[in-house]
Chains A and B, each alone.
Chain A
Amino acid sequence: MRYALLILLFLAPGLARAQAEALENPGAVSAIQERQYRMNHELYLGVGVLPADAFYKGLTGSVSYTYHFSDTFAWQVGRGTYSYNIQTSLRRQLERDFDVAPTASAFEDQVQWMVGSDLVWSPLYGKTAVLNSSVLHFEAFLLGGGTVVKIDRQDGFRPAINLGLGVRMFSGKTLSFRLDVTNNVVFAGASRIINVPVVQLGTAFNFGATE
């Protein structure tokens, strides 16, 4: 009881002050604007890398189509990525100095291409001041979906779960730039999974957005 009184005693000035403030400056001010950039049919072209595998690095080219149901929810109906793989010096060294066979299981995990589909949720939409002279609008999104990955072996189709996040910078009503960082969890075998992270930067063309 004594403690409760003590707590009340401490809280009282704060509450009184808040009430006085509300009395003096009633109301809450917001800047309410029409959303300047709205997506509808999105065609995406991008380039990226598969940076994680120690035996190769993939340089990727991607294309995708996304339909935006609303400002916050979209379906990336289809995406396809082709990877041009470059062997790392580690792999070359292993093959040259230690006679590791090129068909070794780890070598055969390299991704050749993949296709998939994702759901996209964009909870953040905001703007930022650039050099105090212009305003740049952006949105951040999370995406998740499924992928079919073709890896470098016979009968190399593997299912994968794709999870990631991204940010989109709006340049105009029809043009925006996207940075996607995703990870494909590939089920390579019965009890073996491999992670294929992808970092992509691309241009998105928007069609059919209302002005």
Chain B
Amino acid sequence: MTSRSLIAALASAALVVSPATAPAQSGGGSLPMPPPPSGAKATPGAASKPAQGAPAAASGAKPAQGTPATAKPGEAGAPATGTEGTAATAPATDKKPEAAAEAPPPVPQKVDPGVFDQALKDYFDGKPRAAAGPLYAWLQAAPKTDDNYAWAQYFLARSLIDLGLTHAGASYLARIARERSNPNVIPRALDTLKDLTDRPHDDVMIDEQVFGALDLGFLPEETGAYAHYQQGLVDLRVGNERWANTHFAKLSETTAEASHAKFALLVTRLKQVKEPSDELIADFLGLSKDEKLTREARNEAALAVARLRYERQDYTGALEAYNLVKLPELDPGRASLYLEEAWTRYKLGEPRASLGILTTLDAPSFRDEFLPDKYLLRALIYRDLCHYLPAKRAAKELTRRFADSLEAVRNRDDLTQDIRLRRAANSHGGTQRASRFVETLDLEGERLGRYAGSFGDRLFTHLTKLYDLSRAEAVRVYDARLAEAVRQEADTLLRAAEQVRLMEYEVGLKLYERVKKGAKLVAPEDEQLLTPDSVAFRFDGEYWNDELKSYRVSIESRCIEETP
């Protein structure tokens, strides 16, 4: 492990910072809601509290006799998201959206005001599929000033989310948050949006354009806390720590957001200092034990501590910090974590334990991981124990395994087409998030096809266009991130390959070194592998997840004493 560990620490910490989770639900139960139509059943997940002073029933409201003729579907029904906006400028790869754009907009049809009531009834009866089409039709016909307009958007969004079309639902919720036409709907829309941030989502549309730009005065406490946290993050990203602190200061100490904010601040400070202070490490250590954080976030904090201690050559302390990482039972864990621990143990003078961890990295769970350092470390250990042939073999293994990738780098090929580098780039950071979002859009796009019949032409066409545009933008973002990420992975590979070549040369010299007459083998170390409290399961090639952290190698040193 080199100084890039620090960068890795920052990168992985940033992982936690940007897709912050929102575990808490706001207590929006008392918020006003449109009354469910008589005879409707309350569905789980559906907001079911009847409204106090809720929007007028649609039959009472007048959805404008004259307006439908002037209302444009694009304005009324289609949420003009930031994603769409940018996607429109991006080169369209698909012919369909172009054709749809060129076609004249369908003439809005008059919709019976009772449609809203009926759609709401369908929704509360647990029939989101039946509710979605009529709600969209009603939205197209109704004026934006209608009391129920925002409610219709909200229930259309909920229906779409219930049907597994989360991105489409999120786009309507984002629209409610931006338009703010009905203050009673906004907290519910934000709560639902907050829940959606746990899944792959459009972070520009939700995190930046909604939570990052909200007027925070009117929000309920918990939603407000999340918004403060997001806005603080936006400020941190542009380098304005003072503004970020203003937002973070408003977070209650007992909230998870406060802990997340502290983590984000520490990561930012870490970027700014050359030599991390003891206090900074202690703060990370404190976060690694903070029960308000998710387990993943606590683990990230523990990893940051371990990496910082490693950089300061406090290997024992680093090992203690690695032990703070808690995994669910039988979870194989993360390959990078094992590799870092292996380096730490190697530096601590525990080559056998280090070699054992490298055995773990050969497990099927990690077979596709991109870990060029693994071969280098194995070669180093064998070399230190004077097993020169295995050392040479381990070193050669890197160039053999990554031959295609190295060839691609040398030939200056398009690295995004290299399977290994691409997989490595996709496995972490922003590229992973972008990749997952593209996958989600693909999945939901396919799912949308199933609802073609029940949604009606207008909603179906609109959603198809929405997904096409969003996908085009998501792919553009993904490609941009991928190009940068594969370059970094290629750098890592090249560095490891270079060190391996040096190692091969060194080992080659050692192999043919003359052994002096009377030379003796170095006395074997007393290594107590098995204590009375331990049990040993001999490894015969079958990996058990509960053993992945426990492999140890019994191997003798073949080194000879320098002076016979």
Contacts and interface: CB of A to CB of B under 8 A. Distances in A.
Given A24-B393, A125-B535, A29 B553 contact: yes
Contact of A34 (B382, B533, B537): B533
B390 A31 contact: no
Given A35-B533, A125-B535, A134-B330, A30 B554 contact: yes
A9 B556 CA distance: 30
B15 to A, nearest CB: 28
Given A27-B556, A30-B554, A32-B551, 4 more contacts: A31-B544, A33-B535, A33-B550, A35-B535
B186 interface: no
Chain B interface mostly: mixed
Tell which of A24, A29, A33, A38 has the most Cβ of chain B within 10 Å: A29
Interface of B: 329-330, 352, 355-356, 359, 382, 385, 387, 389-390, 393, 529-530, 533-539, 544, 546-547, 550-556
Contact of A28 (B385, B393, B533, B538): B538
Interface of A: 23-35, 38, 125, 127, 129, 133-135
Contacts of A24: 389-390, 393
A189 B329 CA distance: 57
A202 B367 CA distance: 43
A74 to B, nearest CB: 16
Contacts of B389: 23-24
A32 B389 CA distance: 27
Contact of A30 (B385, B393, B552, B556): B552
Contact of B547 (A31, A35, A38, A125): A31
A146 to B, nearest CB: 30
A135 B330 contact: yes
Contacts, number: 82
A26 B555 contact: yes
A29 B390 contact: no
Contacts of B385: 26
Contacts of B554: 27-30
Contacts of B359: 29
Contact of B551 (A23, A29, A34, A135): A29
Contact of B387 (A26, A30, A35, A129): A26
Tell which of A26, A31, A32 has the most Cβ of chain B within 10 Å: A31
A49 B70 CA distance: 87
A209 B187 CA distance: 52
Contacts of B556: 26-27
24 contacts: A23-B389, A24-B389, A24-B393, A25-B390, A28-B539, A29-B356, A29-B538, A30-B529, A30-B538, A30-B554, A31-B536, A31-B537, A31-B538, A31-B547, A31-B550, A31-B552, A32-B530, A32-B552, A33-B534, A33-B547, A127-B537, A127-B546, A135-B544, A135-B546
Contacts of A25: 390
Contacts of A38: 533
Task: Give 4 closest A-B pairs by Cβ, nearest first.
Answer: A27-B555, A31-B547, A29-B539, A27-B553
